[in-house]
Chain A
Amino acid sequence: MALKEILRTFKSALWLSWEVETNWTSPFLYFLYSVIRPLFSMLIVIFIYKVLAYRNPNEDLFQFLYVGSALGLFMLGGLGGLSTILQDDREHYATLKYVYMAPMPFFVYLAGRSGTKVITSAFYMAVALIAGRLFLNIPILQGGKGICLFLLVFVLGLCIIYAAGFLLVGISMLTALHHSFFMSEAVNSILYLLCGVIFPLSMLPGVLKKFAQILPFTHWLELARRALLPPLSLDNGFTGISTPLLLLIFMTGLAVLSLTAWGTFHYIEGRARRKGLLDITTAH
């Protein structure tokens, strides 16, 4: 597969995703919306904290909650966006069969087709983090410390979003439209609950905590927090594990997830072709 072909496919699919996602408004209004939306999401988080920690304010918990929620906008938003694109093309636009039979790498098309959603999710995260730094004095990347680690973690975050996303896209080939949305929401909710987005893993019951500790998403969030914030006094289940070791554990998990996603995607693609599911419509 030539690099030129990959780039051309990705570029045109990315352009399509931009047109699909932003067709309801002008680019300026879309930008404004992309700034306002994460700010309001974070306002909700702030109010929840204010209500819950009314008597016992805990700055470390607030930072944990705020930064975790900002990272969640990226990770869960990107994943959620990616997992529904196949259904969009197959069911809503009824174009999947024509796209699928074009001589281009299908997975590159899917990566580009979800590009705007993933980029927008990253933008939400950036807006939330900048707002936290500017208006709430959260010591995010204070003194520029951790910026290299964060950039690395961000790129790895894209990798894990695409790896898990392809797994979900693959599964969604075999499901009906409504099942697919349900699956996407269920996975997002489970990750939101278990990966230490809004509360430390130490608050989870024993079995769930152990399960959460092996999820690469949990490792990614912990690494991103370590890059963005000074050490917190909360036990997030990784005390005593150095950042390089955690990075190694995460990379191992990411490799396993990527291989699983790759294999599953291709296996399911074959199954979908065998069962005639690439051009069906399940919603009327």
Chain B
Amino acid sequence: MTPAVLTGDLGRTFTAKPFGSKSHKPVTVTALSHVNLEIPPGELFGLLGPNGAGKTTLIRILSTLLLPSYGKAFVGGYDIETHPQKIRSLINMVSGGETSGYGMLTARESLWLFTQFYGIPYNEAFKRIDYLLKVVGLEDRANVKLHDLSTGMRQKVNFARGFLNNPSVLFLDEPTLGLDVHIARGVRTFIKEWMKEEEGRTILLTTHYLQEAEQLCDRVAIISDGKIIACDTPDGLKKLIPGRIRLELVIQPVNGRTPSWNDITGLNLIEEKEADNEILFRFLLNDEGIVHHIMNRLVNSEARILSLKKHEPDLEDVFVAITGKKLCDDETAEPPEIPEQ
């Protein structure tokens, strides 16, 4: 069976003069490095990584907007360098957090325009537009001009645009970024239903939201600094850190003394937050025996323990364990509310 997406030793570098630099010597930045991926038809494949990891670069290459510096990439069996036009009839893309669009057009007109670019017959086009506007909760705003819609609403129109041509391969680049919680939930439900509707549909999803990746994706690749460092099912990835546990500890220091964790072997401090004389620590432990060392340090520092919770590791823990880095540093990367399955 022809893979929906196949990359072989794919890489991309950019050359630029560093901002503010007096030197005329350009700097080469590696966005993607020797990426090998094979996504079979019918799979919802997730790409998880922090900002600047190379996720969007990979999608730009696969969606025929950018050529690689080396290596090969195929979508639907077609080479992105030699058959971009064949690929374009198979794909679509949604970039989350974008407010692109012709502001003078209504939501419905904007979508109609793209149905024409995709050669969708009139009657079918309007049916599909109405359906998609309903999915994103904009059926009552269909005739409002884009520049009169809020940022989130414009994103929804952009999301609907991505599904207009029923693509065989869909690239979703942070599709729920900036959407309301309930709309994001609806979008995720729609993505799952859309995948089930027709056999062979494939989605490549990039996301910051770990729970989104866990809930939606059949397989997830972890990307960091342009390299794919792990690729498996969400459960399979968690097995990469066997026996590990995540500990959340909230303490109240006494006399300003906070315990030091630096020299405890097998302890990885993921996060430290301080507010109102309380400190939250998130740890990833190689084994449960390390809890004993933590308790000793707490006793020595005389800190008051306000809470101590043990969790199963999630994909972020996997990411931290593999890369030694946090996945998200900014508040915007807080995961949205995900309903129980």
Classify the secondary structure of A's interface with B.
helix
Nearest CB in chain B: distance from A54 CB, A:
47
Segment of B34-42, B59-67, B264-272 engaged in the interface with chain A: B59-67
Pick the contact of A102: B99, B102, B104, B117 (CB < 8 A): B117
Q: Does A103 contact B (CB under 8 A)?
A: yes
Flag if A101 contacts B91 (CB, 8 Å): yes
Residues A279 and B118 in contact, CB atoms below 8 Å apart? no
A29-37, A90-98, A142-150, A198-206 - interface stretch:
A90-98
Asked if A114 lies at the interface with its beta carbon under 8 angstroms from chain B, I say no
B73 → chain A closest CB, angstroms: 13
Q: Is there an interface contact between B14 and A276, defined as CB atoms closer than 8 Å?
A: yes
Partner of A98, one of B66, B89, B99, B114: B114
Contact A103 B85 (CB under 8 A): yes
Q: Are A23 and B117 in contact (CB under 8 A)?
A: no
Asked if A8 CB lies within 8 Å of chain B CBs, one says yes
Q: Report Cα–Cα, A104/B92, bound state, in Å.
A: 13
How does the 8 Å CB contact mask read for A77-105 relative to B, with 1 for contact and 0 for none? 00000000000000001110111111110
Asked whether, in the complex, the Cβ of B119 is within 8 Å of the Cβ of A278, the reply is no
> Do A273 and B101 have beta carbons less than 8 Å apart?
no
Q: Which one, B66, B102, B114, contacts A93 given CB within 8 A?
A: B102
| Chain A residue nearest in CB terms to B109 | A19
Instruction: Give the docked Cα–Cα distance between A104 and B14 (Å).
Output: 29
Which residues from B are CB-within-8-Å of A97?
63, 65, 93
The interface residues of chain A lying within 8 Å CB-to-CB of B65 are: 97, 100-101, 273, 276, 278-279
Distance (Å) between the CB of A284 and the closest chain B CB?
13
From known contacts A103-B85, A276-B65, infer whether A98 and B105 are also in contact, taking CB-CB under 8 Å: no
Q: Which residue of B lies closest to A276 (CB)?
A: B66
The verdict on A243 contacting chain B, using a C-beta distance below 8 Å, is no
Q: For B338, what are the chain A residues with a Cβ–Cβ distance below 8 Å?
A: none
Query: Nearest 7 CB-CB pairs, A to B?
Result: A94-B100, A23-B104, A12-B116, A103-B89, A102-B117, A103-B88, A276-B66
The residue from A8, A93, A104, A276 contacting B101, defined by CB atoms under 8 A apart:
A93
Of the listed residues A9, A20, A273, the one surrounded by the most CB atoms of chain B closer than 10 A to its CB is A273
The reply to whether the CB of B130 lies closer than 8 angstroms to some CB of chain A is no
Please indicate the chain B residues that have their CB under 8 angstroms from the CB of A9 in the complex.
116-117
CA distance A11 to B112 in the complex (A): 13
Does B113 touch A at the CB level, under 8 Å?
A: yes
* In the complex, A55 has a CB within 8 A of chain B: no
Q: How far is the CB of A84 from chain B (nearest CB, A)?
A: 15
> Is A16 part of the contact surface with B, judged by Cβ < 8 Å?
yes
A234 to chain B, nearest CB (A): 46
Collect the chain B residues with CB atoms within 8 Å of residue A100's CB.
Answer: 64-65
Alpha-carbon distance between A156 and B141 when the two chains are bound, in angstroms: 45
Is B98 interfacial (CB 8 A cutoff)?
yes
Asked if residues B113 and A273 are in contact (CB atoms below 8 Å), the reply is: no
What residues of B have a CB within 8 angstroms of the CB of A103 in the complex?
85, 88-89, 117-119
Given contact pairs A273-B65, A276-B14, A104 touches B100 in the complex (Cβ within 8 A): no
